[in-house]
Structure 1
Amino acid sequence: MKDFIAAQERTLLEQHGLASFEALWALRLEAVDEPNTERGGWSSVYRLELDDHAYYLKRQSNHLTRSLLRPLGEPTFAREFRNIRRYGELGIPALQAAFFAQRRVPGEQRAVLLTRALDGWQDLEHWLGRWDELDGQRRVGILQACGELARRLHRAGQVHGCFYPKHIFLREEATVFRAQLIDLEKTRPLLFGRRDRIRDLEPLLRRASVWGEVEMRKLLAAYLDGEAGLERWFARLGARRLHKESR
């Protein structure tokens, strides 16, 4: 995969001497959390501010994912970057990449992914934590935004694979909310119709424990957008939720 740099970011990165893999790899920054070492290598995230622009810089070494097409593994950021591009092509609201590149050095597969920071956005976990404080109009706006985001995702033939509150970011605009997705590594094609759709939606409803039946039905109504069978959807989601919680 060739190095990628977004056209609108090139000038700023060049001005700061950061328009290359080597420069971004060598940059000294404080990590925003503990490194991820689950896959045998490591992966870290840093915040980078350039003038009045903010980004998140992700770097990893030997942090690999394997598939039938890539049985020997590839950096997880390579897969996420492909999915970022795919979401853009399909019109699914999601984070945007500013730079991506990977390198092989003796004993290592390295990758760098730079994405624009979602300043001004808050994840759904934030809003769920304040749910009791929100008026009815804001609650409905959030439910509609989440339902519409899921609808656009699935109608584009994609399954997110981690459709959790921490991966859904929202921004309040006047009387409505806009929503977009992050963490696209596990995205795959939607192959099994309603079964895939149920499996993608259910984790959100299970983790949004402050939502009752009324909220869930409002989200489903926004998701189905006139598609018949809301009660059947509600029943199937509830059955899967009970099955997952009993394990």
Structure 2
Amino acid sequence: MLYIPRAWQKTLADLGLDSCQGWLDHQLELVDEPNHGHGGYSEVGYIGLDRESNSAGLYVKRQRNYSMRTWRHPLKGVPSFRQEFDNIRRLDSYGIKTIEVVCYAETKTRRGREAVLVTEALADYVSMDRLNEGEYGEADYSALVEQIATAVLALHATGYRHPCLYPKHIFIGCGEVRFIDLETVRPHHGFSRLWRKDLEVLLRRSSQRFRQHRRLFVETYLGAGATAEEVDKLLALLDRRAAKKAKR
């Protein structure tokens, strides 16, 4: 399996990176410790390209025998990066901003099933957990909270949820919100208890200032038609869940 968007085909071909093996053989500067789990191996590296056709920082994820079970593949599973790749394309079809795929490749070698997912770095964005909140006045910060709530609502409106909706996986920049780390994205089947988990995770992991604006976040998420009673009910539920998690 090989996917390369048209805009990147010539650049990757010139570099010998238009195949799965090309990426597997490429020397990478790892950005974190490799992960051993799911019966396999996974790593993330970074390369910078400065070429006439394409200039960008790229994150390169490589894995071997690192699988996730899905309802379509309940026994052998699929590479977790294929799951992420599929989720990126699925959310893109709904207009949800995520990350730009440069290449997805998958192959079988003597070492097992190997997969590579290459994406563009979000160079002009910053994650919520690294946001310099001191640069925001009250009005601007309230607008940011509303923007994030609207983006999360749009994600849930697709029928999908992000079980790892941590601040480090939400990026702000260029007047928009983008989501990353999408391999765990899955349907919520309309069950409110599932999408509420996303909200609880986000609020519990967010900064003190963001939590102080949690009422505004919930009001925006529920929409203008929500009553004060409905807002209070959801806030109380989220606070109870957060308190229960804190005791563990």
**TM-score normalised by structure 1 residue count:** 0.91
Partner of 2:99: 95
Cα distance in 2 for partners of 1:116, 1:131 equals 25
Letter in 1 for 2:198: D
Task: Kindly indicate whether residue 227 of structure 2 is the aligned counterpart of residue 237 of structure 1.
Answer: no
Q: Give the CA deviation at 1:54.
A: 1.8
CA contact (8 A) 2:161 2:198 kept: yes
The 5 A counterparts of 1:147-186 are 147-171=149-173, 173=174, 177-186=175-184
Task: Kindly indicate whether residue 67 of structure 2 is the aligned counterpart of residue 64 of structure 1.
Answer: yes
SS of residue matched to 2:91: helix
Identity of aligned pairs, percent? Answer: 32
Q: Give the CA deviation at 1:138.
A: 3.2
Letter in 2 for 1:32: V
CA contact (8 A) 2:203 2:210 kept: no
Letter in 2 for 1:55: L
Q: Give the CA deviation at 1:17.
A: 2.2
SS of residue matched to 1:59: strand
Q: Give the CA deviation at 1:180.
A: 0.7
Query: Mean alpha-carbon deviation: is it higher for 236-245 or for 161-170?
Result: 236-245
SS of residue matched to 2:236: helix
Letter in 2 for 1:226: A
Partner of 1:196: 194
Task: Kindly indicate whether residue 44 of structure 2 is the aligned counterpart of residue 45 of structure 1.
Answer: yes
SS of residue matched to 2:37: coil
Q: Give the CA deviation at 1:75.
A: 1.2
> Where does structure 1 differ by over 4 angstroms across 4 or more consecutive aligned residues?
none
1:45-86 deviation per Cα after TM superposition (whole angstroms, max 9, x unaligned): 111222222211111111111234221122110111110110
SS of residue matched to 1:221: helix
Cα distance in 1 for partners of 2:45, 2:118 equals 9
CA contact (8 A) 2:162 2:185 kept: yes
Q: Give the CA deviation at 1:150.
A: 0.5
Cα distance in 1 for partners of 2:65, 2:82 equals 12
Task: Kindly indicate whether residue 115 of structure 2 is the aligned counterpart of residue 111 of structure 1.
Answer: yes
Q: Give the CA deviation at 1:199.
A: 0.9
Q: Give the CA deviation at 1:227.
A: 3.7
Partner of 2:24: 25
SS of residue matched to 1:67: coil
Q: 1:212 to 1:100 in 2, by over 3 A?
A: closer
Q: Give the CA deviation at 1:41.
A: 1.6
Q: Give the CA deviation at 1:241.
A: 1.4
Cα distance in 1 for partners of 2:71, 2:93 equals 24
SS of residue matched to 1:37: strand
CA contact (8 A) 1:159 1:190 kept: yes
Partner of 1:131: 133
Q: How many residues align?
A: 240
**TM-score normalised by structure 2 residue count:** 0.90
RMSD between aligned residues: 1.7
Cα distance in 2 for partners of 1:212, 1:119 equals 24
Q: Give the CA deviation at 1:15.
A: 2.4
Cα distance in 2 for partners of 1:124, 1:211 equals 12
CA contact (8 A) 1:131 1:210 kept: no
Q: Give the CA deviation at 1:11.
A: 2.0
SS of residue matched to 2:242: helix
Query: Which runs of 5 or more residues in structure 1 are unaligned?
Result: none
1:203-244 deviation per Cα after TM superposition (whole angstroms, max 9, x unaligned): 010011413664001112222221412222212211221222
